[in-house]
Amino acid sequence: MTPPATDHQSPAASNPGRVLVTGGGSGLGAAVVEAVLAAGGTPVVLDLDVSRVSGVKAFEVDVADRSAVEAAVREAGETLGGLDAVVTAAGIDRCGKLEDVPAEQWEKVLGVNLLGTVSTVRAALPYLLPVHGRVVTIASTLGIRAVADATAYCASKFGVVGFSHALAAETSGRIGVTTIIPGGMKTRFFDDRDERYKPQDDSRLNDPERVAAAILFALSQPTGCEVRQMLICHEEEGSWP
């Protein structure tokens, strides 16, 4: 029997196209860049530190700086002749009790994790809307479950979840929006923490490459089909459920 005709590639064969990745200089963002390249796409990186980025276009940007983000996204879009997707993987944390974390550091977490996500998506919309592009925001298991000594991070990631859901409703039928909720990963994210806030057993941290593969799966869906939200973690993840 001849299979029915289809007007799109299968997800496994889909090229993700031109993908802007914030935080693409390390960790999950770097894994996404590699996954996009492996799938035949063209990544472009926005990161505060691009010293380890090679072979792809990169812009040194503090995503908490809205004007700088707008300029970089505009240049990236013009350089590539458009954008097909955005992945907002930039993120920081400042652990500690509310009264112990300096206000400027607490607010910087929101500036990077939440406002950086919003600024990047807003700046990219003029490129994404004409091509029915996709947005993949990176939340956290601490965006759906709160813990002590993480008020800034939880506030920012709960905000990313709410923003993403509202954006999906607002842009329904015009762009795709996926919220990725990863558990802890084996990255440099924990390096600058006080020892008491570092994972004591990294065997229960997921590989960022696995999360990147999930992101590519979301990007590979045919028009009209959406992965709206995906939680991905190590099978022994401690912050979920």
Instruction: Let me know if 166 is exposed, middle or buried by CB neighbors in 10 A (0-12, 13-18, 19+).
Output: exposed
* Residue type, position 227, single letter: V
Dump pLDDT digits (tens) for 164-191: 999 999 999 999 999 999 998 887 666 6
pLDDT of residue 186: 80
The DSSP bridge pattern shows strands 85-88 and 18-22 to be parallel
pLDDT of residue 241: 83
Alpha helices in 55-150 (DSSP H): 66-80, 103-110, 116-128
Catalytic residues: 153
Low-confidence ranges of the chain (pLDDT < 70): 1-13, 188-200
Q: Are 114 and 65 in contact (CB under 8 A)?
A: no
